[in-house]
Amino acid sequence: MKLDSHYFSSIISRNGAKELLENFTDQKLANYKSKRNFDYGSYEKNFVSALSPALSRRIITEKEVIKHVSSQFSFAQIEKFVDEICWRTYWKGWLEHRPAVWYDYLSKLENFEDVKVNNPLYNKSIEGNTGLECFDSWVKDLLEFGYLHNHSRMWFASIWIFYFNLPWQLGAEFFYQNLIDADSASNTLSWRWVAGLQTQGKKYITYRENIDRFTDSRFSFPDNFILSDRETDNYVYYEPNYQVLENNATKSKNIGYMVVEDDLSFENIMKDSPVIIQSESYNPFGQSENVKSFSDRALESALENCKKNISKNVATFKWSNVEKINDWVNTNKIDEVEIISPTVGKFEKLIPSTFKKLDVKSSYFFHDWDKLFWKHADKGFFKLKKNIKTIVSPFWNMPLFNSD
């Protein structure tokens, strides 16, 4: 799905993300349920929000999206959209219950270095040079815009695994490196879902007629385009290990707040307190220039937003120079640094290990939204879905039970 340059410059900022949400709500949301699965090839023609790069960094939060859309629609009218917003929360919670899934994926990736060197199809695939028109076109979009429509992501992953017989982990890595909404939970778990590893025995195997119908017959297919139902990895059951999440800030006098690229919501920050913001994207997994530049610009915009609306007492740091955190702590006489709790992914281990080396206490803040949902994310989505209406009701602006 092609995105225009206006889209990119708008969505890095809170105001831009809000504007995109407003336009989507006014123009497309009413048709979301019936049209969301169609990928007509461009942002203008499609009926999805393209809010994911903002949501995955919490430039705008799930709660804010729900509050906005519920001022114009009843729950029944937009239940499908609400469900999709909650899928993101669900995947995040599911992985929080089972961090081992992420670490197993990372360690498996290391075994596939030989595929990268020796399998020509892998290299043709990531260059968009396989000769399969739809697939090559998605690769080009992904490399150029850093975004694909959800259905195209599903077809892409299905073709990668069941047509090209490539390891799902390498596909997940390729997505993670190139998607501007790259998210450890949504990406890894969606690839596992397609491969049949999320729900035992349930793989997602696509077929020509399905792609044809939902892409408005934009692509031609070879006669032998038949995906094979093959085993991927063995299904492994991961025991959920849920811990009750509570904010653990103490009653310290001088609290400072640290903001990192994964959560730019500022939801926990007391006005006019000292704040330190990451100034440059952190890139341990080889993310593309596109993704880095998006994150850098989002951080820049967060800094401006902070100065203007939250606190003028703001400093910046890079992960390559965490000494600056110490300087900021000393200058402001901070005795505790509060951070929005990092989720499984880039920062989960980095933040605590950094604070072990610094001479200041740190504490975690959890979004109320996450706390409400994650306790239902230990099993399948259906368990969480049963609770969505109750959980969102305090944030809902219109009567929840209108049927039209």
Ligand X SMILES: Cc1cc2nc3c(=O)[nH]c(=O)nc-3n(C[C@H](O)[C@H](O)[C@H](O)COP(=O)(O)OP(=O)(O)OC[C@H]3O[C@@H](n4cnc5c(N)ncnc54)[C@H](O)[C@@H]3O)c2cc1C
**Which has the closest alpha carbon to 209: 137, 134, 139, 141?**
134
Shorter beta-carbon distance to ligand X: residue 39 or 338: 39
What residue type is assigned to position 285 of the chain?
Answer: F
Beta bridge pairs of residue 338: 257, 363
Total residues interacting with ligand X, rule: CB under 6 A:
28
Q: Which is nearer to ligand X, 232 or 311 (CB)?
A: 232
For the bound state, the minimum distance from the C-beta of residue 399 to ligand X, rounded and expressed in Å, comes to 23
Among 97, 153, 367, 376, binds ligand X (CB under 6 A): 153
Widest pairwise Cα distance in the chain: 70
CB of 275 to ligand X, least distance (A): 26
- How much is the CA Rg of the chain, to the nearest whole Å? 22
x/- track of binding to ligand X for residues 23-52 (CB under 6 A): -------------x-----------xxxxx
Which C-beta is closer to ligand X: that of 96 or that of 338? 96
**Residue 223 C-beta: closest distance to ligand X, Å:** 27
b/e for 353-373, b at 16 or more Cβ within 10 A?
eebeeeebbbbbbbbebbebb
Give whichever of 88 and 346 is closer to ligand X, judged by the CB atom: 88
Cα torsion at 97, 99, 102, 104 (round to 10°)? -120
HSE-CB for 338 with a 13 A CA cutoff = 22
Contact mark string toward ligand X, 165..204, x via CB under 6 A = ----------x---x-xxx--xx--xx--x----------
Name the one range near ligand X by CB under 6 A: 150-158, 219-227, 314-322, 373-381.
150-158
Q: Least CB distance from residue 40 to ligand X, whole Å?
A: 13
Alpha-carbon gap, residue 204 to 135, rounded angstroms: 16
Q: Cβ closer to ligand X: 191 or 365?
A: 191
User: Residues 20, 64: contact at Cβ < 8 Å?
Assistant: no
DSSP 344-363: TTTTTTHHHHHHHHSSSEEE
Minimum CB separation from ligand X for residue 47, in Å?
Answer: 8
Residue 150 near ligand X by CB under 6 A: yes
Rounded Cα distance, 104 and 236, in Å: 11
DSSP conformation letters of 360-386: SEEEEE--HHHHHHHTT-SS-HHHHHH
**Residue 101 found at the interface with ligand X (CB under 6 A):** no
Contact (Cβ atoms closer than 8 angstroms) between residue 191 and residue 228: no
By CB under 6 A, is residue 64 in contact with ligand X? Answer: no
Of the residues 7, 38, 87, 225, which one makes contact with ligand X according to CB under 6 A? 87
* Rounded least distance, CB 17 to ligand X, Å: 10
Q: How far is the CB of 173 from ligand X (least distance, A)?
A: 11
Kindly state whether residue 58 participates in binding ligand X, applying the rule CB under 6 A: no
Closest approach of ligand X to the CB of residue 182, in Å: 5
Quick note: the x/- pattern for ligand X over 290-329, rule CB under 6 A, is: ----------------------------------------
Question: Of 194 and 310, which has the nearer Cβ to ligand X?
Answer: 194
Closest approach, Cβ 336 to ligand X, in A, equals: 32
Among residues 175 and 396, whose Cβ is nearest to ligand X?
A: 175
362 binds ligand X (CB under 6 A): no
Angle between helices 184-195 and 79-97 (to 10 degrees): 90
Q: What are phi and psi of 82, to 5 degrees?
A: -60, -45
The rounded distance, in Å, linking the Cα atoms of 131 and 224 is 13
Residue 268 contacts by C-beta under 8 Å, 6 or more apart in sequence? 247, 257, 338, 340, 365
Token digits of residue 145: 């815009």
Residue type, 265: S
Pairing of strands 275-278, 314-317: parallel
| Among 3, 20, 21, 56, interactor with ligand X by CB under 6 A | 56
Q: Which residues bind ligand X (CB under 6 A)?
A: 36, 48-52, 55-56, 84-85, 87-88, 91, 149-150, 153-154, 157, 175, 179, 181-183, 186-187, 190-191, 194
